[in-house]
Amino acid sequence: MVAQQETIKADVIILGGGLNGAAMGLALAHGGLRSVVIDYADPKAILTANYDGRTCAIAAASRSVLDVIGAWKYMADEAEPILDIRIADGVSPLFLHYDHKDVGNQPLGYIVENLITRGALYRAIAETDLVEMIAPARVETIVRDQGGMTVTLADGRSIRGALAIGAEGRNSMLRNWAGIKTYQWSYRQSAVVCTVKHKVPHNGLAVEHFLPAGPFAILPMTDDRCSIVWTETTDLANYLVNLDEETFVDELHRRFDGYLGDLEVIGPRFCYPLGLQHAYRYTDPRIALIGDAAHGMHPIAGQGLNMGIRDVAALAEILVEARRLGRDIGGSDVLAEYEQWRRFDNTVMLAVTDVTNRLFSNDVAPVRWARDIGLAVVQKIPPLKKTFMSHAMGYAGTLPRLMQGKPL
């Protein structure tokens, strides 16, 4: 039993040990800052296939961050390179095709299972003395004073730091404690997620079909597998996820229309409700929000994790530089730099995903014709297409040093 008086000292307290929270701890450690990462879930439980069936598209720039902070080496063998992307509007003959060779030899990104990414981050954390992971743990109280933040756990331990970072996802405890409000809405859609084994090689091609109810994505994975993200109205998605195996596979074959040959579903199916959420601000005195705690978006562009990793890279750069200059890393002037750097970028991406989902998730004839022409125009104008590809790879805007593959 830990003594109630024990106080753990750190530079930064991170609430939430998911993908963004763990990456935040490693990024700070890379710059010499000590952090304590607190998570309610048991690490052993969340590294099982039954906990999270999702994969993430990791953009090329995000891969650079994971490489510099020491996690990529533990996940590289399980990361499937995205060599091409094909975007089609239902049964329309018009489409948009991205080929990685148009922008060099580097893949456009990688598809990696969340549990693989999480495991890689945890292995990297185990290698450093500058990140302490406390999980499973329940936060009892949060106290803020002029000098810093104190988080007390249910077992009596206290953690003291100059700054607390909220990385607990859309239902962030720290954000709610600070009284930071959000604007949000539901798309009345849910994503059915599963992994399939197939006979025909995918050759690193990611496919996204825009259908009236929502996008249907086929994301290439290692070992002749693909991750399916099948968006439907919430009622239909709940129906699909509960179908018997044979009927569900038949429905998949209808959607695939012969693509990749015979299909076999591997592992469980999952169903995730979709919505948009954005915090009115990302900071409060001695508090910063990253990832879904600050901004939750539709997965239509595959950018949710990438925007979170960009938050991590930007905030780490600001905090490490502030410490080197002798500034208070929890000071409002320091945190204002983070808000200014990240808010506009995230707002634009939220707007893009929201408009894209609304534009493509309908079957109104004039809208359908307009978007088909739009896809064809981008396909026929190489400079415009390269610009879109650069955005997809995470190279747009002012890049933090970690996203350039540079040390802090």
Q: How far is residue 6's CA from residue 165's CA, in Å, rounded to a whole number?
A: 21
Indicate the residue type of 179: G
Q: Decide which of 3.10.105.10, 3.50.50.60, 3.40.50.2000, 3.40.50.970 is the CATH code for 7-184+276-404.
A: 3.50.50.60
Q: Would you kindly state where each structural domain of the chain is located, as residue ranges?
A: 7-184+276-404
CA–CA gap between residue 162 and residue 319 (Å, rounded): 11
Distance of alpha carbon 115 from alpha carbon 167, whole angstroms = 17
Cα separation, 21 vs 40, whole angstroms: 12
Q: How far apart are CA 245 and CA 242, in angstroms?
A: 9
Element (H or E) spanning 166, and its range?
Answer: strand 163-166
Task: Give CA–CA dist 104/19, Å, rounded.
Answer: 29
The pair of three-digit structure tokens given for residue 44, joined into one six-digit string: 């052993």
Please, what are the averages of pLDDT over each run of 10 residues along the chain (408 residues)? Answer: 71 97 98 98 83 90 98 98 90 81 90 96 97 97 96 96 98 98 96 95 94 92 96 96 96 93 94 96 98 94 92 98 97 97 94 86 76 77 81 88 96
Which residue carries 């598209």 as its tokens?
Answer: 57
Residue-by-residue DSSP string for 188-228: EEEEEEEEEEESS--TTEEEEEEETTEEEEEEEETTTEEEE
| Neighbour-count burial for 377-401, b at 16+ CB within 10 Å, e otherwise | ebbeeeeebeeebebbbbbeeebbb
Token output for 389: 């590809």
Q: What is the pLDDT of residue 284?
A: 97
The DSSP code sequence of 63-128 is: HHHHHHTT-GGGTGGGPEEE-EEEEEETT-S-EEEEEGGGG-SS-SEEEEEHHHHHHHHHHHHHT-
Pairwise CA distance, residues 71 & 387, whole Å: 29
How is residue 11 written in tokens? 């530079």
Element (H, E) at 42: none
Q: Does residue 190 contact residue 275 with C-beta atoms inside 8 Å?
A: no
Please answer whether residues 329 and 321 qualify as being in contact, where contact means their C-beta atoms are separated by less than 8 angstroms.
Answer: no
The model's pTM is 0.94
Residue of 117, 166, 138, 122 whose CA lies nearest to 292: 166
> Residue 201 and residue 134: Cα distance in Å, rounded?
42
Backbone angles phi, psi at 278, to 5 degrees: -140, 130
d(CA 156, CA 152) in angstroms, rounded, equals: 6
Q: Decide: 48 and 318 in contact? Cβ < 8 Å.
A: no
- For 3, the enclosing helix (H) or strand (E) is none
Look at residue 333 in the predicted model and tell me its pLDDT.
Answer: 97
CA–CA separation, 198 vs 168, rounded Å?
35
Is residue 281 within 8 Å of 225, Cβ to Cβ? no
H helix or E strand, kind and range, residue 270: strand 263-279
Q: How many residues does the chain have?
A: 408
